[in-house]
Amino acid sequence: MPAESPSFSPELLEQVKSLPDLPGVYRYLAADGTVLYVGKALSLKKRVGSYFQKSDQSPRIRLMLTQVARLETTVVRSEAEALLLENNLIKALSPRYNILFRDDKSYPYLMLSGHAFPRLAYYRGALDKKHQYFGPYPNGYVVKESIQLLQKVFKLRTCEDSVYANRSRPCLLHQIKRCTAPCVGLISEEAYRADVHKAVQFLQGKTSELLAGMEVRMHEHAAQWQFEEAAVLRDQIAALARAQEQQAVESKGSDLDADILACVLKDGLLCVNLAMVRGGRHVGDKNLFPSHAEGYDEAEALAAFIAQHYLNRTVPAVLFCTPEPADSGVLAATLSEQTGRKVYLNSNPKGERRVWLEMARRNAELAILQRQSATATQQGRLQALIEALDLPEDTRRIECFDISHTMGEATVASCVVYDRFDVQPKEYRRYNIATLKPGEAARADAITPGDDYAAMKQVLTRRYSKIAAGEGVVPDLILIDGGKGQLTQAEAVMAEIGLADPVLLGVAKGETRKAGLEQLIVEGTHASVRLPANHPGLHLIQQVRDEAHRFAITGHRARRAKTRVASSLEDIPGVGPRRRQKLLTRFGGIQGVKAASVADLMQVDGIHAALAEAIYAALRQ
């Protein structure tokens, strides 16, 4: 071990020498305490020591080692425990030199509730044993499509419990033959349960068994001259048969649950294609591009994906993988222990399973080609903008701000980020802007309703005061959605906080507010620049500006709705914060409160007859 190496302190090298020959997790830290890398080891002594003994390290590892100032280790009982701890630390710390699959959203499920008349619903979040779940699915579209089919065929209810409990007559879904109206007793619990059982069979992939049973019952009804019942079953069979035919991939005679994983590294880009088979039916796929993937090969990247994606999550019985992931034995054992059943990682399947893997690999390759094409387009747009406005050649990061409100109500400012030749949604931020109430004295943290200039000044001050203090990344270009007034506010803020690096640019809509007629206002001179409607640089500005507008208006609408819900109850004498919360909780929101009768309102703790009548009357004005 080269103790004389100037790259490492004697204390660090001595610590490496004294590491135990035990399984564990190690963390390399920079001088400022930032975690650079998290790794696992069957033997900490051998694994960590190899970093300081080898001379043929990859460029990524060599660069990382030049920044290592400290080492932290945690000893565990087994390599499986080390894998779990490593995964948790990577997700919590996001180290610079670990490959990261940023896919933190929970996957959607289709849920059948545990009620006497179960509800069919789209669901994300923690699973509750009281209900029955099917999935997970790769995207929400697949779940919603399945719900529509099951509504059409089996007519299961989809309404919220608060609505269901307060119905006095069938809703529109019953009238268009999408629900059997259990809310008003138009179907018995036994008959409804039979429909639920058939829906479960379909979701479990037992479609052939389900169709065979339905055909038998259809003929029985026909033989007894019950032609209406037979016609209902005939239509259900036809709808299910069409759905079965539409499947691009199907495992014949199987109710298999499996995921298909293909990792491809091509031209410096790494992509994992994840396809899902549920109940023997292919339900969709998605492509994932990790960050910090430099220096990883396909097997290492796939192992990292499996750990980050499946540990502490639902795992299907089989993962078909190409190539075989690194540490596949440890991964399989850890996932099996987590689920309480055997989980297989199969990298050499036969028959239709091999076709699935080839399809997934091809989809990953196509996704890389599409990413390369999109990046090339974005690079061209950015370069065209740099040339048109004479921006610095190293301009890469753009931040754009927009203000949204309705006549001064519920003002929200948005900041969207464009970097690495794409928008970066995880770096978006919204800022709620406080406004003064009528007659209220002026204060520093609130603006006059509708004052867009003051709102822009406040949001820019809040964001860039922190960045000027070193808490964030300084952008190269800041786009201000607005004219000279908003740009003037931005200039004043930057001068006040001493942040002179970013270029400021106002984006004013044209006279008719038509896309392509935007005026670009240059900082300092406030000169107007008009780029041609087909200019690639203008297209980039429109893309980022429109994203800022979308993000602002979405936040504004949510804030306005929340404010109006609260205020509609706040205005009723006798309804304070506690009673308001009890009402909203009991009826599932303001719409449920509005639909409640006086008798229903009186069931809520603290709501007497007179107050219930006052609430009922106030919400119907």
What SS3 state is found at 314?
Answer: coil
What is the structure's pLDDT at 253?
47
Distance CA 219, CA 227 (A): 10
Please tell me the least confidently modeled range out of 205-209, 282-286, 418-422, 516-520: 205-209
Pick the CATH number of 571-618 from 1.10.150.20, 3.40.50.150, 2.160.10.10, 1.10.3720.10: 1.10.150.20
pLDDT over threshold 90, residue 183: yes
What is the structure's pLDDT at 238?
76
**3-state SS, one letter per residue, for 457-525:** HHHHHHHHHHHHCCCCCCCCEEEEECCHHHHHHHHHHHHHHCCCCCEEEEEECCCCCCCCCCEEEECCC
Q: Judge whether 382 and 424 are in contact, CB under 8 Å.
A: no
Q: Judge whether 262 and 319 are in contact, CB under 8 Å.
A: no
What is the structure's pLDDT at 90?
92
Distance CA 619, CA 594 (A): 6
Residue 105's pLDDT band, with cuts at 50, 70 and 90, is low
What is the structure's pLDDT at 27?
95
> In terms of Cα–Cα distance, which of 77, 39, 105, 102 is closest to 313?
105
Backbone phi and psi for residue 71, each to the nearest 5 degrees, phi listed first: -130, 135
Q: Judge whether 595 and 166 are in contact, CB under 8 Å.
A: yes
What is the structure's pLDDT at 513?
66
Write the burial class of residue 87 (CB in 10 Å: 0-12 exposed, 13-18 middle, 19+ buried).
buried
What's the token pair of residue 54?
């080898």
What is the structure's pLDDT at 248?
41
Task: State the average pLDDT for the chain.
Answer: 87
Task: Say which residue, 512 or 94, is predicted with more confidence.
Answer: 94
pLDDT over threshold 80, residue 329: yes
Residue 567's pLDDT band, with cuts at 50, 70 and 90, is low
Cβ-based neighbours of 353, under 8 Å, separated by 6 or more: 320, 346
Q: pLDDT per residue over 19-44, tens digit each?
A: 999 999 999 999 888 999 999 999 99
* Helix (H) or strand (E) segment spanning residue 404: strand 398-406
Task: Say which residue, 353 or 206, is predicted with more confidence.
Answer: 353
What is the structure's pLDDT at 247?
46
Is the domain spanning 10-93 CATH 3.40.1440.10? The answer is yes
pLDDT over threshold 50, residue 2: no
What's the token pair of residue 262?
């293909």
Q: Judge whether 503 and 391 are in contact, CB under 8 Å.
A: yes
Please tell me the least confidently modeled range out of 229-238, 320-329, 562-571: 562-571
Helix, strand, coil percentages for the chain (3-state, nearest 5): 45, 20, 35
Distance CA 178, CA 151 (A): 5
pLDDT over threshold 80, residue 543: yes
pLDDT over threshold 80, residue 279: no
Cβ-based neighbours of 114, under 8 Å, separated by 6 or more: 130, 131, 132
What does the pLDDT average to over 316-345?
A: 92
Say whether pTM exceeds 0.75: no
Distance CA 73, CA 237 (A): 61
What is the structure's pLDDT at 99?
92
What is the structure's pLDDT at 58?
80
Q: Judge whether 328 and 354 are in contact, CB under 8 Å.
A: no
Show me where the domains of the chain are located: 10-93, 109-245, 258-369, 398-560, 571-618
Q: Other CB atoms closer than 10 Å to residue 544's CB: what's the count?
A: 20
What does the pLDDT average to over 384-407?
A: 94
Same fold, 258-369 and 571-618: no
Cβ-based neighbours of 258, under 8 Å, separated by 6 or more: 276, 277, 316, 317, 318, 319, 320
What is the structure's pLDDT at 89?
92
**For a pLDDT cut of 90, what percent of the chain falls above it?**
47
Q: Other CB atoms closer than 10 Å to residue 597's CB: what's the count?
A: 12
Q: pLDDT per residue over 583-598, tens digit each?
A: 877 876 777 788 788 8
Is the domain spanning 398-560 CATH 3.30.420.340? The answer is yes
DSSP of 32-57:
TS-EEEEEEES-HHHHHHHHHH-S--
Distance CA 272, CA 265 (A): 9
- In DSSP terms, 400 is beta-bridged to 416, 479
Residue 5's pLDDT band, with cuts at 50, 70 and 90, is very low
Q: pLDDT per residue over 47-96, tens digit each?
A: 999 988 877 778 888 889 989 999 999 999 998 899 999 998 998 888 98
What is the structure's pLDDT at 241?
67
What is the structure's pLDDT at 429?
96
pLDDT over threshold 90, residue 104: no
Helix axes 140-154, 189-203, angle to 10 degrees: 140
Q: How is domain 258-369 classified at the architecture level of CATH?
A: 2-Layer Sandwich (3.30)
What is the structure's pLDDT at 520?
95
What does the pLDDT average to over 320-347?
A: 93
Q: pLDDT per residue over 151-168, tens digit each?
A: 888 889 999 888 888 888
What is the structure's pLDDT at 7?
63
